[in-house]
Amino acid sequence: MAFRDITGHRHLLDLIVRATVRGTLPPSLIFAGPEGVGKRMAAVSLAQIMNCTALEKTGGKDACGECAACKRIGRGVHADVLMLEPGETGIIKIDQVRDAIERAAYRPFEGRRRVVIVDDAESLNGDAQNALLKTLEEPPPASTFVLVTARPDMLLPTVLSRCQRLRFGRLAPAEVADILMRNHEYAEGDAYAAASLSDGSIGRALEGGTDEFVDARDAAASLLESVATSSDPGRRLSGAKVLTGSAGGGSDREELARRLCALSSIIRDLGALLSRADQRCLANQDLRPLLDRLQKSFDPDRVLRAFSAVDRALAALERNASPKIVADWLAFQI
C-alpha cells in the first residue's frame, strides 16, 4: 500500500516521504504509537518507496504500488526487505536478529535499499536488543532499520538513543470508520459503531464483534433519547434497564462497560457540536439526526455533567460495583 493510500497520520507520512526522497531519513528508526493504527503498514510503504522502480509515475513523491518491486514488497517476498516478527513463542529470537544483521551487511540484491522491519519490537529480549545495538548505531550503507512498537518503554535506553523515534497518534474515529468501510467491507452504521468504540485503533475495532458494537451504541442512543426531554423517574429507570441488558450475570459487566463507552462517545459528540467543532471530528457522524435532536435538550453544562457521570460510572464498574446499581444511578445523572 502506497503512502497516499494510508489513512491518517498525514503530516508524519509527508515528512517521512520528503526525507526519504531527499535522502535525509535517518537509517535507524522507531515507529512508535498505539496498536493497530497503521505503523507496520507505513514501514512496508517506506520499503516500497525506497525500492520502487517507477517513482517517476508519482513525480518521485510516493511508491507507484504497481511495479514488480512494490508488489513483491507488498506480498512480503522481496529479497531486500526483511520482516522480523515474534513467532508462536511471542518473542523475537536472537538468531532471527543475527541473521537479519548478516543479510543487511550485503549490498541490496534486487532493489536500491535493504530494509529490515522489526514488528512488535518490544518482543526482542535484552540479548536480542543488545545484538542490534552496533548495527543501529551504524547501519551498513544502503540499509534501513525500522523498529515498530506500541511499547517503546520496553526497549533498552541504548536502543532508543540510537534511533530516531517517529510517533504515530491514534486515528480519528472517522478515519477508523473510513478504513473499516474501504478495506474491511463494513456497512456504514457498523463501521461508525465500531469506530466510535475503537479508541482510534483499527486493531481494536476489528477485535470486537460488529453486533456488540452496534448493540452498545443502540442502547446508549436509546437511553439518551428517553431521558433527553423527560425527568420522569419511570422513564429513567427503564432507560437504565436498557443499559444493563437482559439478565444479571457476569458478562453484564462487560456489556455495560461497552455501552457506557458508547454513551461517552455520543455525549462527547454532543459537546463537539455545541462548540461548533468540525463535522469530521464527530465519532458518530452517521447518527447526525439523533445528535441534532439531542442537542436541543443538552446545553454545555448538562453535557459536561453527563460526561463526568459516565466517567464515574465506568470507574465504579471497574471497582466491582453492581452493574444494576451503576446503571440506575447513572440514569438519574444524565
Site of interaction with Zn ion (CB under 5 A):
52, 54, 63-64, 67, 70
Cα radius of gyration rounded to whole Å, the chain: 24
113 vs 204 by CB, closer to Zn ion: 113
**Cα distances (Å, whole numbers) of residue 205 to 38, 54, 243, 314:** 13, 35, 21, 20
17 vs 37 by CB, closer to Zn ion: 17
Q: Following DSSP, what letter does each residue of 250-304 receive, concatenated?
A: THHHHHHHHHHHHHHHHHHHHHHHHTT--GGG-TTGGGHHHHHHHHTT--HHHHH
Q: Residue 139 in contact with residue 25, Cβ under 8 Å? A: no
**In angstroms, what is the minimal distance from the CB of 57 to Zn ion?**
7
**In angstroms, what is the minimal distance from the CB of 68 to Zn ion?**
8
70 vs 334 by CB, closer to Zn ion: 70
Q: How many helices (H) and strands (E) does the chain have?
A: 15, 5
47 vs 273 by CB, closer to Zn ion: 47
Q: Which residues of 141-175 are buried (b: 16+ CB within 10 A; e: fewer)?
A: ebbbbbbbbbebeebeeebbebbeebebebbbbbb
**In angstroms, what is the minimal distance from the CB of 53 to Zn ion?**
6
49 vs 224 by CB, closer to Zn ion: 49
Q: Residue 69 in contact with residue 111, Cβ under 8 Å? A: yes
- Contacts for 22-27: CB closer than 8 Å, 24+ residues apart: 25/144, 26/163, 26/164, 27/139, 27/143, 27/144, 27/145
3-state SS, residue 218: helix
Longest dimension (CA), the chain: 75
**In angstroms, what is the minimal distance from the CB of 37 to Zn ion?**
24
Report CA dihedral (76, 78, 84, 89) to the nearest 10 degrees.
50
**In angstroms, what is the minimal distance from the CB of 56 to Zn ion?**
10
**In angstroms, what is the minimal distance from the CB of 140 to Zn ion?**
24
**In angstroms, what is the minimal distance from the CB of 55 to Zn ion?**
7
Report CA dihedral (64, 67, 73, 78) to the nearest 10 degrees.
-150
67 vs 172 by CB, closer to Zn ion: 67
**In angstroms, what is the minimal distance from the CB of 47 to Zn ion?**
11
Residue type, 246: S
108 vs 239 by CB, closer to Zn ion: 108
